[in-house]
Structure 1
Amino acid sequence: MPNHYLKWVYLIALSLLWGSSFILIKKGLEGLTPIQLGAVRVLITGLFLSAIGFKKVKQIKQKQWLWIAISGFIGTLFPSILFAYAETEIDSAIASILNSTVPLLALIVGITFFGAMFNKQQFWGVLVGLLGSALLIFAGASLNPGQNYWYALLPVIASLMYAFNANIIKSYLQDISALGIATGSFIVLIPFAFGLLLATNFFDADNLSNAVVQESLYYVLVLALLGTALAKIIFNRLIQLSNPVFSTSVTYLIPVVALFWGVIDGESFNSYQLGAGGVILLGVYLSNRKRKLKKS
C-alpha cells in the first residue's frame, strides 16, 4: 500500500486505540484503585517493550538517562495515575476532550521554557483552547452536580506533563529512536510500578482471586498492549510516514471515539458539553494550522 494511503490507515487505527483507552480506564477502575491501574498498565507495557526493544537502549548515552527517567515519569506513570483518578469522578468522554489540550499546552511550555517561537494565530489558538477547557469544566459541573468536577483539573495537569515531555524529547533526546526512548523510560519505571503494587497490596491472594479484579485486569491488559505499547509504535511510524502536523491531527479524532464509547456505556453528554469540546478542538486547529504564504 502506498505511503499516502498507509498514513491514513495508521491515523485511523491510532485514533481508535487512543480513543478507546478512556473507556478501558473506566472499566479497569471497577476492580482496581487508580494507583494500581496506572502501575499495572506501566508494568505490562514495560515488560512488553523490554522484550521487543531492549537492543535500542544501547543508543542512550549515560548523560541522557536523567532525561529518559524524567520522560518516563511525566510522560507515562504520573499521567496514567492522574487520568485514572479523574475518571473516578468525571466521565471518560470528558477526560478525553480535556486530553486534547496537549498541543495547546505544548506550545505554551515550548514558548515559556524552551525558547520556541510563536505567531499571533497560535496565540489566539491557545486562548480559544483554554477557554473551551474552562467552559467544559463549568458545563460539566453544573449539569452533573453529583460529580466532583475539581477532578477535571487532573487531566489538564496530566496534559501539561505530556506537553513538557514532548518538549524534553524534542530538545534532549532527538538522536535516540522512538522505540529506544520508550523502552528506556519504561525500564526505569518498572521497579517503581512494582513497588506501588506491593505498597497497595495488589499481589495479595485474596485480591488477585477476586472476580471483579480479574475482569479489570483484562481491561488493563488490553489498555497496556494496545492503547499504550502498540499505539506508541504506530504513532512513531506515522510520524516517519508523514509529518508532525498530520500526525498530531489524531487529536481531533480521539474525543469522537471516546464520546462514542461513553454514550454506549450510558454516560450523559449534551449540547453544552459538545459545544465546549468544539471550542477546544477549534483552538487546537488554530494553533497547529499552517500559515499560508502570501503571493507577491
Structure 2
Amino acid sequence: MQNKDSLAWVLLGLISLIWGSSFILIKKGLLVMNASEVGTLRIFMASLALAPFGFRSIRKIPVRKLPYVFIVGFFGSYIPAMLFAIAQTQVDSAVTGIINSFTPIFVSLIGATFFQMRMTRAASIGIIIGFLGCVFIMLGGANFQLGKINYSGFFILAATVMYGVNANVIKTYLAEVKALHITAVSFLLVLPISGLYLFLGTNILDKIGTQGFALGFTYISILGVIGTALAMFIFNNLVKIATPVFASSCTYIIPIIAIAWGLLDGESLNIYQSLGVVIVLVGVYLANRK
C-alpha cells in the first residue's frame, strides 16, 4: 500500500510538470508557426503516437458510442488545442496556465446545468469566486483599464468550457468504456482531420528548412507526444491507482509550473494578477471540495 501511495505522488508530480510545461512549449512553437499550425500539429503528433493503441481499441467500443468518442477527440482535444494556441499569440504562457485552472469549475457548472449533476452550496460559491478571480487576472493585466483588457483570455475560457463539456460527456455517455480506449480512439478519429488540415490547409510544408523551424517543430512534437498522448496515459493510471479527487489536485500545481516557466522566460505577473491566482485557486478548491 505504501509503494502504491508513493507511486501516486510520483505520478501526480509528473503529470503536473508535463501539463504545466505545455504552455511554454506552445509559446516556443508560436515563434515559427501560426496558431492553427501549432494546434493542429500538436493533435496530429498525439494522434500518431496513439494510433497503434487506437486501432486495437476501436473494436472494444460499441458503434453507437463512437459519435461520443469523436466529440471527446474533436471538441475535447482538437478545438481546445487551437484555442490555446490562438490565445497565446496575445497572452503570456503563465497567465494561460492560471486561467486553465478554471477547468474543474466548468466541469461542475456544466454538469449541474445540463447533466443533472448535483452541486453543493460550497461548489456554487467556489464557481463565483473562481470566475471573479479570472476576471481579476485579466483586469489586473490591463491595470484595471477596460480599454486595455486583453480579451484573448476568453479563448482560454472557451477551451475550459469545452473541457467541462468533454468531462461530462465521458461521465454520462461513456462511463462503461475504459479510459484508455476512449483516449486512444478519440485521437484516432481526429487523425485524418488533423492530418488533412495540417498538410492541405496550412503552410507548414513551406516552412520546413526555414530558420528555427526544426526547433519549433520539436517543441510542438514533444507537446503532442509527451504533453498530450503520454500525459493522458499517466493521468488515467493515476486515477486508477488513487482517486479522481487526488488526480484532480494537479489543477493546483499546474499554474505554479506554468508561472515558473513564464518567469524563467522573462514574463512577469503584477500584484493584481498574483492576487487573482490566489482567488482562482480558492474558487477551484471550493468547487471541488467534498
Normalising by structure 2, what TM-score?
0.96
Runs of 5+ in structure 1 lacking a partner? 291-296
Name the residue aligned to 2:244.
244
* SS across alignment from 1:149: coil
Q: Distance in 2 between matches of 1:37 and 1:144?
A: 31
Name the residue aligned to 1:294.
none
Name the residue aligned to 1:41.
42
Runs of 5+ in structure 2 lacking a partner? none
Normalising by structure 1, what TM-score?
0.94
Name the residue aligned to 1:201.
203
Q: CA shift at 1:53, angstroms?
A: 4.3
Q: CA shift at 1:144, angstroms?
A: 10
Name the residue aligned to 1:178.
179
Q: Distance in 1 between matches of 2:8 and 2:146?
A: 42
2:142–2:148 contact (8 Å) kept in structure 1:
yes
Q: Distance in 2 between matches of 1:243 and 1:255?
A: 21
Q: Distance in 1 between matches of 2:260 and 2:223?
A: 17
Aligned AA (2:141): G
Aligned AA (1:282): V
Matched, 1:282 2:276: no
After TM superposition, the structure 1 = structure 2 runs for residues 207-246 of structure 1, keeping only pairs within 5 Å, are 207-246=207-246
Q: CA shift at 1:248, angstroms?
A: 0.4
Identical aligned pairs, as a percentage? 39
Q: Distance in 1 between matches of 2:219 and 2:149?
A: 25
1:56–1:177 contact (8 Å) kept in structure 2:
no
Root-mean-square deviation (CA), in Å? Answer: 1.6
Name the residue aligned to 1:103.
104
Aligned AA (1:244): P
After TM superposition, the structure 1 = structure 2 runs for residues 151-190 of structure 1, keeping only pairs within 5 Å, are 151-190=152-191
Q: CA shift at 1:34, angstroms?
A: 0.7
Number of aligned residues:
288
1:90–1:148 contact (8 Å) kept in structure 2:
no
Q: Distance in 2 between matches of 1:257 and 1:172?
A: 33
Name the residue aligned to 2:76.
75
Q: Distance in 2 between matches of 1:147 and 1:13?
A: 37
2:72–2:166 contact (8 Å) kept in structure 1:
yes
Q: Distance in 1 between matches of 2:254 and 2:129?
A: 19
Q: Distance in 1 between matches of 2:182 and 2:170?
A: 8
Aligned AA (1:115): Q
Name the residue aligned to 1:134.
135
